[in-house]
Structure 1
Amino acid sequence: MKILLYGINYSPELTGIGKYSGEMACWLAAQGHEVRVVTAPPYYPDWKVWQGFSSWRFSKRQEAGVTVIRCPLYVPSRPTAIKRLLHLISFSLSSAFAVLAQLRWKPDLVMLVVPTMFCAPQALALAKLTGAKSVLHIQDYEVDALFGLSIVKGDKLKRFAFAFERAVLRAFDRVSTISSGMLQRAEQKGVDKEQLRFFPNWSETARFHDVPRNAQLLSRLGVDPAKRVLLYSGNIGEKQGLECVIDAAEQLAERTELVFLVVGEGAGKARLLDMCLQRGLSNVIFAPLQPYEDLPSLLASADCHLVIQKRGAADAVLPSKLTNILAVGGNALITADPDTSLGLLCSEYPGIATLVEPESVRALIMGIEAVLAMPVPNVIATRYASEFLDKDHILTRFLAEI
């Protein structure tokens, strides 16, 4: 089968959507499918195009058996509301040429990964003109996130954005997303239940099974291996609201056996560094993103995993980091309301993680204490991961369903 995968994020990005899109394309190619990808140069999560790639030129090359076409885009070093929109629009405009150039190739399946919804018109046009099946895979509800986090404001703009989103969702043959709560939201937006497919993010569970704590890795990151590690790993952006972690660290500064380790990059990192410097905090250590090969050891070395989100992001975005945390048997502290996908997960599988109120420093500190009292490894988490999050099982089922 000829499959076109279309999305702004792709390998070699190590976190978030790009990681999963890259793994999916390589898996499909390994199964014997002819796979092409239209994407952008890697820039996430540090909002800077990686060395060896260009933000202004088209490129086409083979990567792990996949034909990857990278398109120019604008990448703001300090993303604001307007700059984020220009960033997304710039990719939609440049990539439209690459997508419509696939008319001669005639794909059997066109799959658009959201964000960004701005790319939907050309994806639908290609599918219509070639007779391909169209699939919209929602990793983030970008419209909900933009307005829920007040990144974009205005009642008229909001009504237009949601009307456009509704029309796009209904136009695809299939709409898939990564959680039960996000599926329910798609129904609320007008998608017929027969169109919907559940396609969760996955983990290479075998890589994360029975991994020991790595004192050498912690020392390399500047952490005393004898201390209890409270880890946040991933994107440091607006959706997370990590300022409350710094506030919690300040209140727990006298607990010398605890250390906060923040591993990652993103638009909000400089602000957090300034907060720690101004408050003279020595119990918060920052480190860059680690190679994927070291991820199992990093996750296995934490006593508490901080899965932090603002309230407005709940069920608009779902933290992909949680899959590997569960696979390694980590004890996660999740900030989400009980009626969100993460909240429902915690109620349906008691003990899988600790759920606390978002954007509350007091709740965060109480949650940390609860997590530190939990046994390690978390066997409920590892059992759930092996049963529901295995990469081969998820991808095989999804391909059969679409």
Structure 2
Amino acid sequence: MHILFLTDNFPPEVNAPASRTFEHAREWVRLGAKVTIITCAPNFPKGKVFPGYRNRLHSREEMDGITVIRVWTYITANEGLYRRTLDYVSFMVSAFIASFGVRKVDIVIGTSPQFFTAMCAFMIGLFRRRPWIFELRDIWPASIKAVGAVRDGPVLVTLEAIELFLYRRATRIVAVTQAFRTELARRGIAPEKVDVVTNGADLTRFAPIPRPAALSRELGLEGCFVAGYVGTHGLAHGLETLLEAASLLQAREDGAHIRILLLGDGARKPALRKLASERGLKNVIFVDSVSKAEVPQYWALLDVSIIHLRRDPLFAGVIPSKLFECMAMGLPVLHGVEGESASIVQCEGVGQTFAPENAAELAARLTHLAGAPETLATYREKCLAAAPRYDRKTLAGAMLDIIRQTARTP
């Protein structure tokens, strides 16, 4: 079986969509499928092409048995609705053209967050008379409305009409959360058309390791209780809350030894750096993005991981993939996301929850855990016990079963 997969995020990018697609595709190849990925030159989130790559009309490479075709796109940083939309549309057009050079395709998959990639998958499926799957990673455009990037009006109405059209025309939909499946059912999409394959972690890459002493010294973290956020610094993540918590901790005697590390890049990072400087925060350390191979070293610096999204009903249906990487690393979490992912934290017993955008509660949780080593040890044990239930290999196999079934759909 030949799977044609469309995504505008792929390694060496290190965000969640890139990791999920690569780890799934690698496992599908191991299980006997042929996989061709159409993507663009790696540039997320800064909008700068990674070293060793060029934004060419067409290039081809092999990566762990996966054929990767990279096409030209309009490249911009991960900020600004209209420039980003131009980026998405250019990928849709370039990927559609490139698909003509891919032979004997059995099924087409287009992944979100944004739906222009899914639109391309629909067009390829229609043209080639092949089934296609919409992999639903985000309810878009509702998510950009939630962060204020677009307002109610003709543009939003048009985008939502296209979104609903794609849900209806997809042969099958694979959502990453049960909440997304419920939301689609509420909007008239038959539940039996929607499967759920959650995010997970590559347990061969993420596992407990000793704290790297040299890196800890380099970042000035020796003797400190270290909490950290690893991931995109975007509008949806509300990382200002972490800085507010840092300010509260800095003013307290029992918070003097607590440090907050922020690793990653994104649209809000310059503003966050400025805010930290203006507030004179000496307990916040900013680190730029590192390669996927280096990420476990930074997870290992932490005593607890902070996961956070802005307080909005839409985000209650999101399960951040970093939650599963933390489990695999044996790293307790402080989880500032409501809904389905908070239930996972509580049911698995891998950490504590706090109300999104509540800096005082976050600061209180941090000071409590900093003085509770036995509680942290229990969370670590439960993380490692839970991790195998979210093994990426198992989840990739489940999705391949769905793909094979869909490919046989008349």
Aligned partners of 1:77, 1:162: CA distance in 2, in Å? Answer: 24
Sort the Cα spacing of 1:135 and 1:77 in 2 relative to 1 into closer, same or farther, 3 A.
closer
The one-letter amino acid of 1:236's match is H
Q: Deviations over 1:232-270 (max 9, x none)?
A: 111111110111111111111143211111111112111
Residue 363 of structure 2 is aligned to residue 362 of structure 1: no
Assess if the C-alpha contact under 8 Å between 1:142 and 1:316 holds in 2.
no
Corresponding residue of 1:89: 89
Deviation of residue 231 (structure 1)?
0.6
Task: Provide the rounded CA distance (Å) in 1 between the counterparts of 2:174 and 2:95.
Answer: 22
Distance 1:2 1:268 in 2: 39
Mapped contact 1:236–1:267 kept (Cα < 8 A): yes
Equivalences, count: 395
**What amino acid maps onto 2:384 in structure 1?**
T
Distance 1:305 1:45 in 2: 22
- Quote the residue 2:165 is aligned against: 167
Match of 1:375 in 2: 376
1:51 deviates by 2.0
* Counterpart position of 2:408: none
Computed over aligned residues only, the root mean square deviation of the Cα atoms, in angstroms, reads 2.1
Q: How does 1:120-131 map to 2 (within 5 A)?
A: 120-131=118-129
Match of 1:248 among 245, 248, 253: 245
The Cα of 1:141 is off from its aligned counterpart by 2.0
Q: Tell me if the contact between 2:110 and 2:133 (Cα under 8 Å) persists in the aligned partners.
A: yes
Aligned counterpart for 2:190 among listed residues 189, 192, 213? 192
1:233 to 230, 253, 259: 230
- 3-state SS of paired residue (1:136): strand
* Aligned equivalents of 1:234, 1:157: Cα separation in 2: 29
Q: Are the equivalent residues in 1 in contact too, given 2:92–2:119 (CA < 8 A)? A: no
Q: Distance in 1 between matches of 2:369 and 2:125?
A: 48
> Could you tell me the percent identity over the aligned residues?
24
Paired with 1:329 and 1:25, the residues of 2 have a C-alpha distance of 26
State how far apart, in whole Å, the 2-side matches of 1:371 and 1:188 are: 40
State the match for 1:66 in structure 2.
66
How far apart, in 1, do the equivalents of 2:197 and 2:97 lie? Answer: 28
Partners of 2:303 and 2:332 within 8 A in 1: yes
Cα distance per residue 1:9-67 (max 9 Å; x no partner): 11111222112212222222233322111111111133322122223532222232222
Aligned residue in 1 for 2:270:
270
Distance 2:26 2:44 in 1: 20
Tell me, in whole angstroms, the C-alpha distance in 2 between the residues paired with 1:134 and 1:157.
26
One-letter code of the match for 1:9? N
5+ residue gaps in structure 2? 404-410
Contact 1:11 1:21 in 2 (8 A): no
Match of 2:177 in 1: 179
Show the counterpart of 1:346.
345
Does structure 2 retain, via aligned residues, the 8 Å contact 1:100–1:122?
A: no
CA distance in 2, matches of 1:362, 1:94: 48
The equivalent residue for 2:407 is none
TM-score (norm 2): 0.90
Using the TM superposition, name which of 79-88 and 154-163 deviates more.
Answer: 154-163
Are the structure 2 counterparts of residues 196 and 77 from structure 1 closer, same or farther at C-alpha, using a change threshold of 3 Å?
Answer: closer
In the alignment, is the contact (CA less than 8 A) between 1:137 and 1:175 conserved in 2?
Answer: yes
Aligned letter for 1:244?
A: T
Report the Cα distance in structure 1 between the residues aligned to 2:136 and 2:396, rounded to whole angstroms. Answer: 15
Residue in 2 aligned with 1:28? 28
> Matched residues in 2 for 1:147 and 1:101: separation?
37
Contact 1:140 1:318 in 2 (8 A): no
CA pair 296-7 structure 1, distance change in 2 beyond 3 A: same
Residues in 1 aligned to 2:28 and 2:104: alpha-carbon distance in whole angstroms: 17
Residue in 1 that maps onto 2:406: none
Whole-Å separation in 2 of the counterparts to 1:318 and 1:45: 20
- Runs of 4+ in structure 1 deviating by more than 6 angstroms, as ranges, are none
Aligned to 2:286: 286
From the superposition, tell whether residues 223 and 46 of structure 1 become closer, same or farther in structure 2 (CA, over 3 Å): farther
How far, CA to CA, are the matches of 2:15 and 2:6 in structure 1? 18
Question: Is the Cα–Cα contact under 8 Å of residues 203 and 328 in structure 2 kept in the other structure?
Answer: yes
Q: Secondary structure at the match of 1:375?
A: helix
